């Protein structure tokens, strides 16, 4: 995402990270490397966060040495994380009191979409803030969906993940049933993709399910479980039953108990072989 901003002429300041390789690469592309998120925020009119959850977002913004002390009036914070909408709305109110805008803009289409600049954004926030940050989002994505005030982008993303992650679980289960039933797995996938079972999830995970190569970690099981827990909380607040996706959530929770928390979600294809 940062590389695409640089490619299109935006000035980018990146904060230090425990994984130095991407920071080094961005520095070579022209980014200014700050020693901390606080230092980076002091120099930015627009600050973008991409973190695992609301816990990390709140720590970075409101915690010890939080960037709230560095953000200037009139600046805007973009949260591209898959965050808890309740936390997002609460944070938006805190920032508003300091004349700082908050736009929640979580993304889909994964690591490849981030590299290619083809992300889809789920956007929430005040109109003036959204309009201000759209030039930044346009060079990182191709599709933009506006939902309403702060928190609505995160709500939409959680429901999107509820669908996609539940589908990953059922595709993994069907894959192992097909394998155990003696089917040629490639032929099975080709047949599914030619019919009503076709989905973006199969396109994204099919090759890894077939090859059983899960060494590359794109999306950890613990983060998938977190996202389905957030959808469970949404259901509880609306009073709606949480049935089908609850089974997927329980599958992910059991995978964590079995020590797969840090593994890629494609490892669910091996779950039935443990």
| Residues designated as active site | 157
Q: Are 106 and 121 within 8 A, CB to CB?
A: yes
Bridge partner list, 107: 121
CA–CA dist 77, 57 (Å, integer) = 11
CA–CA dist 132, 149 (Å, integer) = 15
Strands (DSSP E) found in the chain: 13-15, 32-34, 46-49, 76-79, 101-104, 107-108, 119-124, 141-148
CA triple 131-135-137, angle to 5 deg: 95
Q: Are 149 and 126 within 8 A, CB to CB?
A: yes
């Amino acid at each position: 995402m940062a590389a695409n901003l640089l490619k299109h002429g935006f000035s980018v300041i990146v904060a230090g990270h425990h994984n130095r390789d991407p920071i080094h690469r961005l520095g070579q592309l022209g980014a200014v490397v700050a020693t901390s998120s606080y230092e980076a925020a002091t120099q930015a009119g627009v600050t973008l966060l991409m973190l695992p959850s609301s816990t990390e977002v709140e720590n970075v913004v409101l915690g010890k040495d939080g960037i709230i002390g560095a953000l200037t009036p009139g600046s805007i914070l973009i949260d591209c994380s898959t965050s808890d909408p309740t936390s997002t709305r609460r944070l938006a109110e805190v920032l508003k009191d300091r004349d700082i805008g908050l736009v929640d803009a979580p993304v889909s289409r994964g690591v490849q979409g981030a590299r290619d600049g083809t992300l889809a954004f789920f956007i929430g926030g005040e109109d003036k803030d959204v309009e201000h940050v759209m030039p930044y989002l346009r060079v990182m994505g191709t599709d933009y969906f506006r939902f309403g005030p702060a928190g609505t982008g995160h709500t939409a993303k959680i429901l999107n993940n509820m669908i996609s992650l539940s589908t990953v679980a059922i595709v993994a289960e069907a894959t192992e049933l097909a394998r155990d039933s003696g089917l040629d797995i490639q032929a099975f996938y080709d047949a599914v993709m030619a019919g009503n079972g076709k989905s973006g999830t199969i396109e994204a995970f099919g090759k890894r399910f077939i090859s059983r190569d899960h060494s590359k970690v794109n999306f950890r099981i613990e983060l998938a479980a977190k996202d389905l827990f957030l959808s469970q909380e949404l259901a509880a607040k609306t009073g709606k039953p949480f049935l089908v996706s609850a089974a997927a959530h329980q599958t992910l929770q059991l995978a964590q108990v079995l020590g797969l928390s840090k593994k890629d979600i494609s490892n669910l294809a091996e779950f039935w072989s443990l």
